[in-house]
């Protein structure tokens, strides 16, 4: 009855590269920079979009689901100058959504990337198959995300007031540096309701700058860091925890943090999933935790092994799947069952 966990992870991985060359060739020359580790974070993004739409679609309270990709990129990433492509987060989101979003917002300040993304999304949504779930509306916004996010939130509220449909959103913020600053996070939280998936550049942008440019880092955190006693030892973990605390103060206390080792022993970032506290759970937190454990185990391998996993080698995949899959199995079984959606824990969303 339930979905096999192994198949679930396998299909997330296969989805990263499927049709990517075709999308690249729509606008040759335009691609995001990429490395093997970036693919691991996209597995998490893929599972999050997939489970978010499945779970929220069952909740009668939220008629209108939105997706915001705050640092959307060009729609395709290229790995190591080789002819090897991965889909970008906007296309993965459209493909992995199990129900179409009411509206998808893609914010990208580089005009060339924004234009390439627009063309690739048009190509995706014009395909005959419904592999890419076309939302009722979508928009590529060629602006700085810090300025665009307040307008996006007002747009959602306007629509809410006009038709009185409950709204909820999933927002992916793929920071490379300290791109999306705290005032924009405040706009997104605590209301309207929504889940966040944030790439926190813990060791590079934050770790390297906090000593020398505390004001810049402070803007990213929404805190005056001169009043914070930052330890020398364990500084990066301290800064990660500080960001998690800030999110908790914005009514996003349920957090799953995945440490993505971009270069073992050298630099890493944290992928933070954060949501509201709902008594009976949010219906997909265990899946996120399982994917986190998988990603953290894959890091223990070298780059060749990571590529093996990404290339679909069954035996490599199996060796990195965490043993304890009870939580995710239950959630996947629940999502794949045809039972009355009202019987799930999701009543608690209301
Ligand atoms: C690494 S790429 C995004 C990759 C994308 N999330 C993916 O997974 O396919 C980061 C993008 O963010 C854009 N960017 C950086 N700062 C920005 C800002 N403040 N507002 C909007 N876009 C920004 C860059 O131009 C770049 O295309």
Closest CA to 167 of 189, 190, 194: 194
Closest Cα to atom 27, ligand 1: which residue? Answer: 73
Name the more confident of 68 and 62: 68
CA distance 202 to 221: 12
Closest CA to 81 of 116, 37, 40, 29: 29
Q: Which residues of 274-289 are buried (b: 16+ CB within 10 A; e: fewer)?
A: bbbebeebbbbbbbbb
Pocket lining: 35 vs ligand 1, CB cutoff 6 Å: no
pLDDT tens string 313-341: 878 888 889 999 999 999 998 877 644 33
Alpha carbon of 73 to ligand 1 centroid (Å) = 5
- Residue 168 CB neighbour total at 10 angstroms: 20
| Confidence tier at 149 by pLDDT (50, 70, 90) | very high
- The count of residues in the chain is 350
Q: Are the C-beta atoms of 89 and 45 separated by less than 8 Å?
A: yes
Pocket lining: 32 vs ligand 1, CB cutoff 6 Å: yes
Alpha carbon of 147 to ligand 1 centroid (Å) = 14
| Confidence tier at 265 by pLDDT (50, 70, 90) | low
Q: Are the C-beta atoms of 241 and 272 separated by less than 8 Å?
A: no
Which 3 state secondary structure label does DSSP give 61?
Answer: coil
Closest CA to 181 of 153, 127, 145: 145
CA distance 127 to 105: 20
Alpha carbon of 255 to ligand 1 centroid (Å) = 23
Q: What is the CATH number of domain 5-349?
A: 3.40.50
CA distance 47 to 11: 10
Q: Are the C-beta atoms of 246 and 182 separated by less than 8 Å?
A: yes
Residue labelled with tokens 């335009």: 30
| Confidence tier at 33 by pLDDT (50, 70, 90) | confident
| Confidence tier at 301 by pLDDT (50, 70, 90) | low
* Torsion 121-181-217-271 (CA) sign: negative
Closest CA to 91 of 28, 145, 146, 138: 138
CA distance 101 to 91: 13
pLDDT tens string 181-216: 999 999 999 888 999 999 999 999 999 999 999 999
What is residue 177's predicted lDDT score, i.e. its pLDDT? Answer: 94
Indicate the top mutation candidate among 37, 107, 108 to test ligand 1's pocket, ranked by most ligand atoms within 8 A of CB: 108
CA distance 43 to 51: 12
Q: Are the C-beta atoms of 49 and 97 separated by less than 8 Å?
A: yes
Pocket lining: 109 vs ligand 1, CB cutoff 6 Å: yes
């Amino acid at each position: 009855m339930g979905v096999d966990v192994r198949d679930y992870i396998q299909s997330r991985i296969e989805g990263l590269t499927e049709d990517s060359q075709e999308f690249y060739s729509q606008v040759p020359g335009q691609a995001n920079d990429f490395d093997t580790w970036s693919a691991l974070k996209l597995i998490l993004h893929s599972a999050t979009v997939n489970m978010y739409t499945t779970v929220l679609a069952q909740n009668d309270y939220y008629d209108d689901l939105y997706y915001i990709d705050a640092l959307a990129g060009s729609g395709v990433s290229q790995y190591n100058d080789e002819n090897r492509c991965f889909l970008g987060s906007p296309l993965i989101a459209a493909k992995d959504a199990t129900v179409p979003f009411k509206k998808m917002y893609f914010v990208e300040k580089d005009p060339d990337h924004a234009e390439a993304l627009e063309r690739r999304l048009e190509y995706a949504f014009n395909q005959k198959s419904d592999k890419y779930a076309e939302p009722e509306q979508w928009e590529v916004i060629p602006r700085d995300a810090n300025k665009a996010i307040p307008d996006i939130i007002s747009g959602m509220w306007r629509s809410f007031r006009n038709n009185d449909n409950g709204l909820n959103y999933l927002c992916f913020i793929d920071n490379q540096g300290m791109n999306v600053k705290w005032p924009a996070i405040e706009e997104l939280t605590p209301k309207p309701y929504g889940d966040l998936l944030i790439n926190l550049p813990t060791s590079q942008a934050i770790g390297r700058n906090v000593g020398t440019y505390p004001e810049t880092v402070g803007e990213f955190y929404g805190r005056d860091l001169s009043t914070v006693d930052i330890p020398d030892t364990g500084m990066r973990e301290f800064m990660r925890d500080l960001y998690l605390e800030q999110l908790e103060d914005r009514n996003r206390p349920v957090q799953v943090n995945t440490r993505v080792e971009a270069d073992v022993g050298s630099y890493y970032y944290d992928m933070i999933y954060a949501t509201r506290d709902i008594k009976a759970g949010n219906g997909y937190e265990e899946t996120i935790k399982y994917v986190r454990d998988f990603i953290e185990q894959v890091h223990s391998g070298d780059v060749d092994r990571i590529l093996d996993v990404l290339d679909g080698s069954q035996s490599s995949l199996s060796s990195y799947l965490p043993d304890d899959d009870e939580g995710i199995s239950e959630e996947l079984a629940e999502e794949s069952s045809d039972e009355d959606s009202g019987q799930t824990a999701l009543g608690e969303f209301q």
